[in-house]
Structure 1
């Protein structure tokens, strides 16, 4: 009878813990050994991860990399508040930019080695270091672009590295690499020193390509994306509204869809477009923040968090002299500037779900149909 009571108690504790945010789970794992065992269990973490990912009430935050190598979680509602502070366990990844995020995990690139990357869950502090096997040991070849996304067909996570003559796909679950070729990468310059992060949305990663890969889209650009089902780089037809040389747009993610914001370079306003049901739709027109013209604003701004669950859009504006965040209220068309930077070496990346989950290697995993 006592044993039965203990099982019921554990079930109740489990059902309560599974509903909590990660910050609370981290604190509660020190309550008792039994609570820690529940929270550390890989099945519990996977269930909590899936629930957080699918929840419409899941709160958004962003990861803020400071100059001293510490990463801070700050909520979208009040970016000046620090939720959690964490430092990467290895020193060589403590002062590096974040190149993307997916389901609470982030992709980091080491400054010390052109081949070295890390996947890290800042909440649980679990990580994995990996190197692309198709790049020579002493090569100074930096990928032109990178991406990180979830593959729902295989319940896997994939990293994409795009080089001059090929691209490589890494499977996190199987811990394996695959070298691929594409007509798109043949158009790139011979050498690249910048690794452009892609826009991860709808289980795809998007980039713009002309003579280099980036996120800016003009008349002569092509939009390409990584298709997780086929592991291929494909081309997305360019929107009809981009037809003049004096137009400039930037790729982004809005309301869970791929989007573009920009317009005529000399304009004092910019348009926000979203692709829904395979069609580009004009979402809104916004006056450029702080009266900057459209061209400079698009070049220097990134949308960190969109209005999927809120009536606000969070912009990160970064120039040669300064950087700051601005929250745009969609309903009242009001802009609020947030000054929380004291150094240009800070980096930011949005985190759209909280999780303690970190995938384990399973080489026997089969692709789902």
Structure 2
């Protein structure tokens, strides 16, 4: 029988993509460095999600405390209700649940609790593996100030980073190092939107101090917020509420009009 070292990496990747269980795939990361590299690649993660036969979707609507987050299964182009996923809770005696989805990246959710100030206690949660990371923001951000959050995966360091954008600062939490850092903003941004992770960066559509629409993204390689050239349609006279989404691995801008 041939050893894994004699099997081309392309064949190994095809075999790993056939595994439907996320837990099984993650266990194979410990086999060797090459397998860990394959499984950690965002392209592999995306392909595994797309090829998963389960096709399970988690509803972002606030769940019932006793019922958990509702799951839906896609079958024949129709959604059907599936079993719910229990809500992560704190480990203290109060067991306060985190029932608010703030943002998402590669299947990892940032959750907050309506019983806390959203700038304080949070949990990063993977519903597929049930793994949780609890943390608190050490910076005293006011509840009334602008807060825009996002999650970004740093492929180079294999690190998940949580980004907080406030009026005049932005903070970065590194899961790998379990550490925080804070930087000043050159422009004061306004808005309350979640960031969208697309092709290695996390994007927001915000407005500056002149109420002009700006597309801002977080670069995990430098831990810096940068501006992106925006479409001509988003000029200074645009008064629409613009949202951002990920559509087939592309950033999509849209506006919902009541007309």
TM-score norm. by structure 1 comes to: 0.53
Distance 1:260 1:205 in 2: 14
1:12 paired residue number? none
Q: 1:123 to 1:84 in 2, by over 3 A?
A: farther
Structure 2 residues without counterparts, runs of 5 or longer = 5-13, 90-94
Check the 8 A contact 1:160/1:169 in 2, yes or no. yes
3-state DSSP of counterpart to 1:93: coil
Distance in 1, matches of 2:245 and 2:180, equals: 28
Distance 1:104 1:18 in 2: 16
**1:226 maps to 2:221:** no
- After superposition, residues 105-120 of structure 1 pair within 5 angstroms as 105-114=108-117, 115-120=120-125
> Shift of the alpha carbon at 1:208?
1.8
Matched, 1:149 2:149: no
Distance 1:16 1:245, change over 3 A: closer
1:247 Cα offset (Å): 5.4
For residues 205-243 of structure 1, give each alpha carbon's deviation from its aligned partner in whole angstroms, at most 9, with x where no partner exists: 11122269xxxxxx9311111111111111112211234
Per the alignment, residue 259 of structure 1 pairs with 252
SS at match of 1:174: coil
Tell me the secondary structure at the aligned position of residue 92 of structure 1.
Answer: coil
- Confirm or deny: 8 A CA contact 1:108 1:118 kept in the other structure: yes
- Asked if structure 1 preserves the Cα contact closer than 8 Å seen for 2:166 and 2:189, the reply is no
* Secondary structure in structure 1 of the residue aligned to 2:203: strand
Deviation at 1:53, TM superposition (A): 2.8
Contact 1:93 1:108 in 2 (8 A): no
1:200 aligns with one of 189, 192, 197 = 197
Structure 1: 5+ residue stretches without partners: 9-14, 30-37, 189-193, 213-218, 263-293, 298-369
Aligned residue in 2 for 1:296: 258
Higher relative contact order (CA 8 A, sep 6+): 1
Counterpart mapping for 1:63-212 below 5 A:
63-64=58-59, 65=61, 67-69=63-65, 70-77=68-75, 78=77, 80-90=79-89, 91-94=95-98, 96-114=99-117, 115-135=120-140, 140=143, 144-184=147-187, 186-188=188-190, 195-210=192-207
Contact 2:218 2:226 in 1 (8 A): yes
State how many pairs are aligned. 228
Report the Cα offset of residue 169 of structure 1: 0.5
Is the contact between residue 142 and residue 163 of structure 1 (CA under 8 Å) also seen in structure 2? yes
Aligned-residue offset at 1:123: 1.7
- Matched-pair contact (CA < 8 Å) for 2:168–2:189: no
Match of 1:21 in 2: 20
Aligned residues of 1:199 and 1:252 also touching (Cα < 8 A): yes
Please tell me the root mean square deviation across aligned C-alpha atoms, in Å: 3.5
Distance change >3 Å, CA 245–CA 141, structure 1 → 2: closer
Which has the higher Rg, Structure 1 or Structure 2? Answer: 1
Relative distance call for 1:49 and 1:84 in structure 2 (3 A) is farther
Q: 1:178 Cα shift?
A: 0.9
**In 2: Cα distance, 1:144 partner to 1:254 partner:** 24
1:88, 1:260 → 2: CA distance? 31
Relative distance call for 1:155 and 1:39 in structure 2 (3 A) is closer
The verdict on how the C-alpha distance between 1:153 and 1:123 changes in structure 2, with shifts beyond 3 A counting, is same
Q: Deviations over 1:77-104 (max 9, x none)?
A: 555323442112414234x221122222
User: Structure 2 length as normaliser, TM-score?
Assistant: 0.72
Distance change >3 Å, CA 245–CA 121, structure 1 → 2: closer
